[in-house]
Structure 1
């Protein structure tokens, strides 16, 4: 979400009232320096700011897959620690890069580290938590994300220069370097990797100490104060987490994916029918709430649907597919000049498709986390029987 303050909407004027020029005069009253001002990303070059975010999300996509596979092969702990170190390093370095392309490429690598942290971190938590608390903890896992989303507005308000802003949000992540000292390995991965002795020793020690990328970008461009829009978007995501806690206890996983997808679709489609203003922001926030609710539940759903030996790779692939949407989202949000209905309609159609596809998936509520491929195949075969789909094995 940092792109909201790295490349906010920027007003400029040209000599002789020209529409475009090579030496524009930017309005620096709100933001003294952005990547748009730094590298003249206006007129025929305006698409480059969206390309920056697209490549960042491509990095998240790639990192989700690459680090997911690495985690299944080499372990959760070393992969997560490497991702954290890479995130801090590339985040700080990107603050000082002098050219658009160097900034964009390094941010793509930064995105890879983010993808690794998100996927590996979630799987590690899920493999530590018992079945009784797994659904609640899977929701609470996303609360720091929403708090960071809200705090982003504070960073953006206090730090208006994009270089200092990027540096500030990168240095804040240095707290994660404590993982190097305190982060344990997943005992489930140790067992799956036939490292039983290490798993037993770890659990003995633990027994003594143990106890969602396009609509938000669109909302930030709606009428009103950008800081209020960002805080509103982050706040409804936090509300979605709190709402999800009781819902995951009493409702089935498929229901919690299908119904919010349909509701978010209706909210976005309704935005295309009403005037821009407070009403559209409210409907947009309601759409974000439903979308983030799906985002939260899907992490839990995917973790329960795949066995331990491929869980990180599988969630990495699932997260990778989500990043395809995040890569396209800035360009979809940029359709507003072609018609205020274009972006909301585009954002509203895909959740309906997702809801229909979810009907083919198995239900995993109250199921123990699977360990082997055979257990996963059994769950898949049961889902096919329930939906009337049959396959021949040769």
Structure 2
């Protein structure tokens, strides 16, 4: 009689890849389309539009002379008309977000990012406690409701509250879907799918300008980018719970149902399924809980800050994540301020997301993490500075397209860097604090994304040259700081704090 092999991983039974995993991956990738819609829509529901005072002062149109528009605001102009040649309705003209109310438009996006940060914490805890699939149900249903609420908002306060809640739910759903993918596929495919997972964002990025062009009323645009999520609720019915989560929580009956369905869909043999399940359960109940608890008690970020080399690495990583997020969203959300057609600019910026998501996967195989990230930050910074000689607000063809082209090149470089630092950060932290380390760095990036929307307001009063100098200066400064990080390519990743200290010390110079 043939002996059943020892089964330690669920993928030993269901396989590392098959139609069962493909269903989960396609669901998770395609629903990220809505993440791009919700995160980047501010460019279309709060665009830079012209308006003029009608208090019998003059037939003056703002947007061409920032100082004059500011003077009219100071003089107490009460009646304004807005240019509706492109957008029929925006939150700018709907609630008169000009003069002393101008910052409210940017605040809506900052509040979205605050909600995003909170959602990562709240739903991360809930997902670990109640499972991946229940949280997907809750976040998608509430996400649809929050989207409808923002589309039907009666005032700017209502709109901002809805957007804050939407940001919380969107990130909660995003992280839960990402976790589901990583827990359903085999280790051989995990890194590749981690990059492919971002393609849903890129697709949504490209589709958004088309939706906005066809629906120039911001309420209609929000409805069109929210209601289709109902289809993904239907799809969710056939999405399984994470088998790894079921193992971690000892839900063996549910696990057996999930595993048997996966084996059937992947067209694998069912002959030894019962004995394989018994072996899997035995392998995952033999570990020492006391040892796990002891190690977990030492797994906190304070341990990192007590170690000098890891402390240096952590502070540099905080800065790197902040700069990447600030520059990336600063360019993405304000692409219309570089001149030219907003819809075309946005589409090109979205298309750039595809190579900036895929090329890093190839580059990190042949180039060290440290020189690669540093080089990308230098290139991004120099690209931003190179835009300045072409002028900041002129609209001639000879200056607009070089300015847009160079700005998009800068966005490509920062996008590549953003994708690489996820991998790089996970490698510099030891196993015992890897999750909390990456999570804390991600929080630093949220600070950058919260500030980025106010770049539009800074541009109004200082001009694009100042904005680009900030982008360029920070990127180059970060490129310099990256040289003080350890090189992890070809290195065995650390498991303990002491091992990570040794890794950092060897690479200090």
Task: Give TM-score scaled by structure 2 length.
Answer: 0.68
Cα 1:234–1:385, aligned 2, differ >3 Å: closer, same or farther? same
> What is the match of residue 385 of structure 1?
505
Shift of 1:226: 0.6
| SS at structure 1 position matched to 2:227 | helix
For residues 307 and 67 of structure 1, what CA distance do their matches in structure 2 show?
Answer: 24
Counterparts in 2 of 1:1-394, with a 5 A limit? 1-15=40-54, 16-17=56-57, 19-20=72-73, 21-178=77-234, 180-193=236-249, 202-203=258-259, 205-209=261-265, 213-276=329-392, 277-302=400-425, 315-337=438-460, 338-355=462-479, 356-357=481-482, 359-360=484-485, 363=488, 375=495, 377=497, 380-388=500-508
Judge which range, 355-364 or 72-81, deviates more: 355-364
Deviation at 1:316, TM superposition (A): 4.3
Q: Give the Cα separation in 1 of the matches to 2:266 and 2:499.
A: 31
Contact persistence 1:305–1:364 (CA under 8 A):
no
CA 1:362/1:376 → structure 2, altered by over 3 Å: closer, same or farther? farther
Q: CA RMSD in A?
A: 3.0
Find the counterpart in structure 2 of residue 392 from structure 1. none
| Inter-CA distance 279–51: structure 2 relative to 1 (3 Å threshold) | same
State the match for 2:293 in structure 1: none
Mean Cα deviation higher: 258-267 or 143-152: 258-267
SS at 1:25 equivalent? strand
Number of residues of Structure 1 aligned to a counterpart in Structure 2? 384
Q: CA separation of 1:44/1:321 partners in 2, compared to 1, >3 Å: closer, same or farther? A: same
Cα distance in 1, alignment partners of residues 42 and 206 from structure 2: 14
Alpha-carbon offset, residue 221 of structure 1: 1.6
Structure 1 regions of 5+ residues with no counterpart?
369-373, 390-394
Query: Could you tell me how far apart the structure 1 residues matched to 2:232 and 2:504 are?
Result: 42
Q: 1:229 to 1:88 in 2, by over 3 A?
A: same
Report if the CA contact (8 A) 1:265-1:352 is conserved: yes
Deviation, structure 1 residue 151: 0.5
Structure 2: give runs of 5+ residues left out of the alignment: 1-39, 59-71, 268-327, 393-399
Bigger drift between 296-305 and 152-161 goes to 296-305
Aligned counterparts of 1:122 and 1:361: Cα–Cα separation in 2: 27
How far is 1:170 from its partner? 1.0
Q: Residues 332 and 49 (structure 1 numbering): CA distance in 2 closer, same or farther, change over 3 Å? A: same
Label 1:116 to 1:179 Cα distance change in 2 as closer, same or farther (>3 A).
farther
Task: Give the 3 Å change call, closer, same or farther, for CA 287–160 of structure 1 in structure 2.
Answer: same
Shift of 1:233: 0.9
Deviation per CA, 1:366-390, whole angstroms, max 9, x where unpaired?
979xxxxx9354663443333459x
Distance 1:323 1:87 in 2: 20
Q: Secondary structure at the match of 1:175?
A: helix
> Would you say the 8 A contact 1:244–1:293 is kept in 2?
yes
